[in-house]
Structure 1
Amino acid sequence: GLIARVADDRIAHPVKEVSFDLSGLTERWGFGDGEQLLSRDEGDYSAYACKAVEAALKAEGLSGYVQWVETSHNNLRLGWVEVPSRLRARLGLAPRLVPALWRTRDDRLVLVRSAPRELTGKSAKLWAYDFGLADDRDFWEPAEAREELRRRSA
């Protein structure tokens, strides 16, 4: 839908393609803390979002298991894989879990050591709520109206 300002027929789009930093795949606060996503339920939107993020990873030469997690925060996350360690096994500790993100090197998949660092600065575009509209002072309070208020209060 649209948000319309009747006084001068100006419109704004509260939903548009928004660019998100892919490092959000490893954070519960990523992707606008999930609040910008159009749905929190599994369904068509979640399938679209996962595929769009996987395509963005592929464009960067990466691959990962993107999943939709039920949470009150960011629903888009990388899955996790166990990394075996001889030292951890000797100490009786469980294998370490790391984000499931790989880079292709010499026709082999190599696990990325630091997914957050690798993903920072890389982005994916998703249809999402544009909360920037809430900060668009000119849309909500046009310059003419602000000037009129200034004159009246002077």
Structure 2
Amino acid sequence: MSDKEAEFREFVNARMESLRGLAFLTCGDWQVAEDAVVGVLTKLYGRWSRVDNPDAYARTMVVRAAIDETRRPWWRREQSHGDAMPDSPTDDGTHAIDQRIHIRQALSRLPARQRAVLVLRFLEELSVQETAAALRCPEGTVKAYTSRGLEALRELLDERREGRRAIRNQ
């Protein structure tokens, strides 16, 4: 095995899970996320020796691939809701897990670009400039999507809290 192949395998072993998570949070479907990551890693392997920052390259390409998958006509027509997150945690009952589930559900209801911006900015901890470069859009667009996405996320989470309060008060 060459040094190039060994470096690539090490990179894949170190980053595979986080890239899958990033893709899932971007598109909301584990199968599509897996396809996006595998496709990106295949392309990256062919360009491995020419890519200066493989981590940034992979992250950018995974987000783009996940967004592109959700734009395909079959996605709207064939999307299954069987993978939907459960309304409550199945066996753990802790508040943190419950919160993560509700945040993921709310994120899945945002438009793909807003969701991608929020995931890159807050999960991957990229700057506005890095996020703009990853999504090939102006920094002003990243700022606007961040603002709108956070506002929409707050509204969705507030709706959820209000609904839970109403149920408890009945």
TM-score, scaled to structure 2: 0.25
Q: Larger % of helix: which? A: 2
TM-score, scaled to structure 1: 0.27
Q: Larger % of strand: which? A: 1
